[in-house]
Amino acid sequence: MSLPTLTLRGFVTVLMLVALALVPQLVELTGNAFLIDLATRCVILAIAAVSLNLILGYGRMISFGHAAYLGIGAYAVGIPVYYEIYNGYLHILVAMAVSAVFALATGLVCLRTRGVNFIMITMAFAQMVFFTFVSMEEYGGDDGLVIEVRSEFSRFINLEDATVLYYVCFASLLVVLYLVKRIVNSRFGMVIRGTRGNELRMQSLGFDTFRYKLICYVIAGTICGFAGALLGNFTNFISPEMMDWTRSGELIFMVVLGGAGSLFGPVLGVSVFLLLEEFLSGLWLYWQLVFGIFLILVVLFANGGIDSWLSGRSRRSHDS
Amino acid sequence: MTAKALLSIVNLHKSFGGVAATKQVSLDIVKGEIHAIIGPNGAGKTTLVSQLAGVLLPDSGRILFQGNDITRMPAHRRPHLGIARSFQITSIILDMTVLENVLLAVQAKAGHSYRFWANSGDDASLVEPAMASLEQVGLQNQAMQMAGPLSHGEHRQLEMAMVLATNPVLILLDEPTAGMGQEDSTRMVRTLQALKGSRTIILVEHDMNTVFTLADRITVLVEGQVIATADPDAIRSNPRVRQAYLGEELDSIPSEPHAEDSMTKSPPAC
Amino acid sequence: MDWTLLTVQFLNGLQLGILLFLLASGLTLIFGIMDVVNLAHGSLYMAGAFLCATFTQWFDSFFLGLLAALPAVAIIGLLVERIVIRRLYQRDHLDHVLATFGLILAFDALTQMIWGPDGQVIPLPAWLDGQVMLTADIVLPTYRLAIITTGLLVAVGLFVLVTQTRLGMRIRAGATNRTMISALGINIGMLFSIVFGIGAVLAGLAGMMIAPITEASIGMGNQIIIVAFVVIVIGGIGSIKGAFIAAILVGLIDTMGRSYLDALFKLFMSVQNAETSAPAISAMLIYILMAVILAVRPTGLFGPRGH
């Protein structure tokens, strides 16, 4: 790697991270407690979006069921807490393990198909999880479940403190970003990116692309399950609604808005999405009309998302 | 003959909806030779190569590679035996750099790629052989460029570099000079000539100049059937071949190799 | 066994299957011919329901309201195709999914602007609101029978259109082999518009027919559209026949599963276990069905073989 000459893209990335790191201080200065809620939500969804980007951006697997992992992760906190099991390490472990198993089981079916079928099947499996939780009356069914007590880790990490919770989420985001950066530049990541570009060629080179894609799919699901566990702790209330397929749609939009296939793009996408949502919803009751039209316009006219705009090139070239 | 054969095709048969595309083809490929498969359009050349590559499964018959039956082995496992394929339609990964394309090929040869942590672009055990392959085809200066915008000829050279990077025993080449200009095509022929003797190559090619310049032996397919297998001179004078296919086209081929070809066309030991 | 309940549940399943077919048949054609993923198909279903509610009020007749709403939905569908979908044909699936997702948001908000947040009730005329006595024991709601009959008639009509007419021949050609239509020198833009329009009308009709039972409500299409996707995946993309068989199958399995799975489970597990697990399993049934069918045939029951 050459010494960094700070590009616009690099500048924005650093600025973003510094700003996120200083959110609690900013809250103290302004006394606006709502800001930390927004920032926590943003950071957690950014983890989910970064994990989705691993399969969607780098692997071109258009999964429309990624919100299911957010739900699975959240219920992996909610259900143990319901039985008065508060061990946070256990929560995280269950969240990631169940997500991994679900990703493996559904991935085995989904990845056998391609194109439109893949999109619809990932969507359908997520919907299956949605209805499964709706039908579980014991855990609140449709109405959801209140998480009375947040995950307990150690004396020093008290998630009931909003600032601590925020920094735990922020540190997690940094770890996940680093993890994904390593993965996409590794041999494994090269195979995934090569498969996105030309799967047939990769097979003729001798790669069993199905297995690589499946592993990638499981990694992404597992990371998102982790994000779900954080989300459950943050909201204190979980319901099937958080894994509705429209939530998955929003996640995809966040990734594409920021720039699919770029490491930091999804973080930008989530930030812009949430700020815009916050701004518009305060402005007009029917803000979703504007939002929907904005989405359509982004698809039609803004290729490659914010990231390609920052780095000054269009990313459209790799679309077949 | 079978004893020395690197690849033996025995009574291979494949039909699509009742129409036979490969009719009881039997053929031995000898180690070290460039074996050209020629025939008119629709003769079943690509179908045959696809079966060798494992993309199509034959209806009956056997394919033996180094004595092992590979007839039903899945396509993605054959490269591990040393069988590499180059596509008729250029098949490279357009949104990666030239080097990355070849890196993937080296990686494929290196066995599994379940390494999730180390940066593959810094891995000398990958980069060095990749650069060596690029030099073999003369693309070393374009290594860091994106593959997409390169010219058609360069795409074919890159494709060839990827094939070579897997260090294959047997190369299946489907029309390596298709759609190329004179200059690119001469360059490709020279690259292939340099491989003579060190690799075994099955070459499917329309351009008779290229075929007669490179091939040690030639098999003529007509309507899915082998009508002759012999060295270039014998093929040239074979009346059945002339009648079925070559005819006038053959007369335009110079009977001696090009003057610029320094390699002598000695037939392989068989 | 309660035969009335069984018959009614069977009819409910059939009715769900019919509605799914109306949604899925249009979707599968749009996929097959244009290769476009239209998530907003459920919005046309919703638009049909709301328009029908308003027109029913104006004319004070459900029947007239329905007749007026059909062309209105067709116009909305054509406008959507012209303004948004048409620009997506050359794009990849990710763009389709996102743009039509945006359409859903816009449609839901627009509907709320026009009709407010509450559902719209559609009163049925007396002759549809009654019940039919099949036997002394079995009494069936007239309107459900009417939905099923109408749906079956539309299905027959669609079969005739697709198999017997020139337009149908072109649609079939397009659905199985997209390059063929251009080779045949057919005006593709026109064909796409027509197919999209037909799809819109079918989806709208489904919404209109269900609204008197459920009310017209914001986002009503957003759940059933996923089930319609399941139907298409099971039936195979581009196949009307597949969509019909899969729709009826899914409708029946879903409805019957929800009603009878706990009884079935009680045969071999404790009452308590059966009552907790049956709802969850029955919610999963159609997805399990889909997974099994795809595991055997990745392109669905009647989908194109191979790639």
DSSP string covering A178-234, please?
HHHHHHHHSHHHHHHHHHHH-HHHHHHHT--HHHHHHHHHHHHHHHHHHHHHHHHHH
Task: Give the per-residue pLDDT at B267.
Answer: 42
The answer to whether A128 touches C229, Cβ cutoff 8 Å, is no
Average pLDDT (B115-120) is 80
Q: Name which of A106, A131, A319 is nearest C92 (Cβ-Cβ).
A: A319
A/B interface, count of CB pairs below 8 Å = 102
Q: In one letter, which amino acid is B31?
A: K
Q: Which of A104, A142, A299 to mutate to test the interface with C (most CBs of C within 10 A)?
A: A299
Instruction: Tell me the sheet residues that pair with B230.
Output: B218
Residue A220 lies in a domain: yes
User: What mean pLDDT do residues C205-223 have?
Assistant: 92
> What is the count of structural domains for chain A?
1
d(C-alpha A71, C-alpha A224), whole Å: 9
Give the pLDDT of residue B44. 86
Q: Whole-number mean pLDDT of chain B?
A: 82
Q: With an 8 Å CB cutoff and a minimum of 3 pairs, decide whether chains C and B touch.
A: no
β-bridge pairing B225-230 and C139-141: unpaired
Is A239 in a helix, a strand, or coil? coil
**Segment C6-32 mean pLDDT:** 89
Residue of B nearest to A213 (CA): B114
Q: State the first-to-last Cα distance of chain C, in angstroms, to the nearest integer.
A: 48
Which range among A145-159, C71-85, C203-217 shows the weakest confidence by mean pLDDT? A145-159
Choose among C98, C54, C100, C302: nearest CA to C199: C100
CB atoms within 10 A of CB A281: 13
Q: Is-above-0.80 flag for pTM?
A: yes
- Per-residue confidence band for B185, with pLDDT thresholds at 50, 70 and 90: confident
Contact list in A for residue C93 (CB cut-off 8 A) is 62, 115-116, 119
Interface test with A, best of B90, B104, B107 (most A CBs within 10 A): B104
The structure tokens 């808005």 sit at A257
pLDDT along chain A (320 residues), means of 10: 66 90 88 88 97 94 94 94 89 96 94 84 89 86 86 80 92 96 93 90 86 96 97 92 91 92 93 92 88 90 79 48
Q: Model confidence over C148-207: pLDDT tens digits?
A: 999 999 999 998 988 888 888 877 777 666 666 666 667 778 888 999 999 999 999 999
Identify whether A159 is part of a domain. yes
Please state whether at least 3 CB pairs lie below 8 Å between chains A and B.
yes
How close, in Å, is residue A146 to chain B by CA atoms? 38
Q: How far is B264 from chain A (nearest CA, A)?
A: 32
* pLDDT at position C305: 52
Quick one: how many helices (H) and strands (E) in chain B?
Answer: 10, 10
> Does pLDDT of C94 surpass 50?
yes
Q: Do the Cβ atoms of A190 and B103 come within 8 Å? A: yes
Domains, chain B, ordered by start: 1-73+201-270 (3.40.50.300)
Cβ–Cβ below 8 Å for A208 and B76: yes
Instruction: Spell out which residues of chain B touch residue A183, defining contact as CB-CB under 8 Å.
Output: 116-117
Kindly state whether residue A181 falls inside one of the protein's structural domains: yes
Nearest CA-CA partner of C261 in C288, C295, C243: C288
pLDDT at res. B253: 56
Q: Which two three-digit tokens encode residue C281?
A: 């399993």
Q: How many CA atoms does the CB half-sphere of B214 hold within 13 Å?
A: 35
Mean pLDDT of C211-239: 90
Ranking A4-8, B23-27, B51-55 by mean pLDDT, the lowest is: A4-8
pLDDT for position C220: 92
- All chains having 3 or more CB pairs closer than 8 angstroms to chain C: A
Query: Smallest Cα–Cα separation from B170: which of B217, B202, B208?
Result: B202
C168, C195 Cβ separation under 8 angstroms: no
Please count the helices (runs of H) and the strands (runs of E) in chain A.
Answer: 14, 2
What pLDDT score was predicted for residue C307?
Answer: 37
Give the closest of A182, A185, A205 to B104, CB-based: A205
Find chain A residues with C-beta within 8 A of B118's C-beta.
186-187
Q: Is residue A120 part of a domain?
A: yes
Quick: pLDDT tens for C115-160: 998 888 888 888 888 888 777 777 778 898 899 999 999 999 998 9
pLDDT digits (tens, 9 = 90+) for B127-159: 888 999 998 888 888 888 898 888 888 888 898
Q: Indicate which of C79, C110, C115, C233 best probes the interface with A, i.e. most A CBs within 10 Å of its own CB.
A: C233
Residue partners of C266: CB distance under 8 A and separation at least 6: C274
ipTM of model: 0.86
User: In this complex, is the C-beta atom of A287 within 8 Å of any C-beta atom belonging to chain B?
Assistant: no
For residue C178, the model assigns a pLDDT of 63
Report the pLDDT value the prediction gives residue B258, as an integer from 0 to 100: 43
Chain A residues with CB-CB distance to C97 below 8 A: 62, 64, 119, 249, 252
Distance from CA of B235 to the nearest CA of A (A): 32
Q: How far is A308 from chain B (nearest CA, A)?
A: 15
Res C4: pLDDT: 76
Tell me the three state secondary structure of residue C132: strand
- pLDDT on residue B1: 43
Residue-range definition of the domain harbouring residue A210:
28-243
> Does any domain span residue A211?
yes
Looking at residue C3, its amino acid is W
Query: What pLDDT digit, counting tens, does each position of C51-66 carry?
Result: 999 999 999 999 999 9
Which residue among B105, B118, B123 sits closest to A205, beta carbon to beta carbon? B105
**Could you tell me if residue A19 is inside a domain?**
no
